[in-house]
Every structure is written in C-alpha cells, then in structure tokens.
Structure 1
Amino acid sequence: MLATSERVELLEHAEQLAQMVLESDIVEQYQICLYKMQTNKETQEKINRFVNLKDLYEEVQRFGKYHPDYKRVMSQIREYKREMDLDPHVAEFKLAENDLQGLLDEISMQVGGAVSKHIKVPTGNPFFQTDSHSAGCGGGGSCSCSA
C-alpha cells in the first residue's frame, strides 16, 4: 500500500476526530465513572464476589440441574449480580458506557453515510439500523441473503 498525500491527510483527519472524542465531555464522564468504580472498595468487593462465583456457575452449567449445588449457585449468582448491578458506581458506569457507545455509533453512522448510503455500519444499536444502514446478515434477515 502506497502512502499518498490523500491517505496521509485522511489519517490526520481520523487522528483529529479521535482526539476530539477523547476530549469530549462524554469520555470525561466515562473515565470519572470508571475511576470511581475501580477505586470504591465496596463496589470492588461486589464485583469480585460475583466474578468468583461465575467460575462455579460455569462448572454448574456443565452438569445443569444434576449438579449438587445447582439451586444454591443459581440463586446466589442472581443475588450477587443484582447487588453488583444496583451498586451506584456500577450503575453510573454503565450509563456512561452506554453514552460513549452511542457517541461512537453516531460517528460510525456519519462516516459510513459520508462514503455511501449503502455502507453497512454495525452499530449494535437497533435505533441506528434503518433499511439503508442494515447490519447485514446479523441484522435479522434485512440483507435478503439465503444464509
């Protein structure tokens, strides 16, 4: 691949766009929430307790309801997940993460649409998937393939 002045200019614009995203309020809020979540002792205890139980959960899943600890593990995993998800720092982080993902999805749609209205941009968000911006084979049959 040859480095033409057009490619270099395109890469410079991409770097400028990335820098603008990094300097945005959304990324700043994401980093603040991530820091709060990672430094709060109680939040980390909830996350670690859930992660440690996940290993046992995966073992129980291999045997299903025939595993001797099936009911206990299934009940505990739901309880620990609920505790973790209801933690204010985890909840705030997830909201910030969704906001950042939304920004990145919007940028992807803008860039893809600037190239062609037929560009398929996998956003993972049904809000952005229209007929002209379908997700292809993973978009629920909108690509009309026979797969």
Structure 2
Amino acid sequence: MKKMFLRSFIPTLLLLLMLWQPARAANAPADFPQNHAVSRIFKKYARHKSASLVNLEEDTLKRKGGEVFGVKGLKRMITLTLKNPTAEMVKDVQLVITQDKRNSDDIQEVYDSGYLVSAYYRLDVSGANSSYLLYRYDRNRNHIILIYMQGEIDSQELLNLLHGKK
C-alpha cells in the first residue's frame, strides 16, 4: 500500500512543481523598477538564451548583511549579463541607458572607438536611498553587464569598487 502511494504521489508532486516553477518565473519581471527605462531591458532579455539574470531583493541581501562585492547598504540588486550580444541587443541597451542618463545627476562614461564601454549613473536619490546603473561592454570578450543597485549606498564606495580601489 505504501509503495503504491509513493508511486502515485511522487509523479504528481513532480508535475505540480514543474507547473508551479514557470508560473513563478513568468511573474518575476513585474517587480523590476518601473521608474527607470532599464527595466525594459531586464524584461526583454531576462529569458533570452544568451542572458543570465540575477535579481536580489531586500530579504536575500539582508541575509548577506546588505553587502555584495564590498558595497554595503544594498536593498536591491539586479544583474543582467548578455553573452555574444547581437548589434541589435547592444543598440537596445545603449538606447535605454541614454534615456535613463537624462535623469541622472552623477554621470561617468568611457567610450572606445565610438562605443560606450563603461558607465556609472546615479539615477535618483530619495532620502538616504539612491539608485545606480552600472554598465560594461567588453567588445573583446563580446559581453554586456548591466547592474541596477538600490539602497543606502555610498557612491564613493561604489566608485572605488568600479575602479579597483580598496
């Protein structure tokens, strides 16, 4: 009797887990930051075959002490990596960055051969909380890294990380 129960229970459980997981993943993009254009890129490429997306929310970050890569005070961090992006993907990302750049008050950019290869933008400040957008396009290794950070972040600490200083 017990074996028969397990034989029917385990396949049913696996089926339910398989059905639940895609529904959960399909709802994930809805919680991207809506007040910034970069959210369109996260939504568009989150499930692309050449993309890796990591969305760390406040609960997860609290377990890490609110610190990732030496940056303290994080409440949210979204990282999108695009491997072997097409010219259209590069154009999409740079267009969105240009849109968010218009509302930034702290901008640092590096261009190489007419391409934006590295950028840092402070998108907004609300009390102690700030939002940042970091961008890196490595043309030699052909990949893009786009990072959105939100929280009580020290901008100098973030710049030191970007420039490899301690």
Superposition TM-score tier, normalisation by shorter sequence: under 0.3
Scaled by the length of structure 2, what TM-score is found? 0.22
TM-score, normalised via structure 1 length: 0.24
Q: Which has the higher strand share?
A: 2
The structure carrying a bigger helix percent of its residues is: 1
CA radius of gyration, larger in = 1
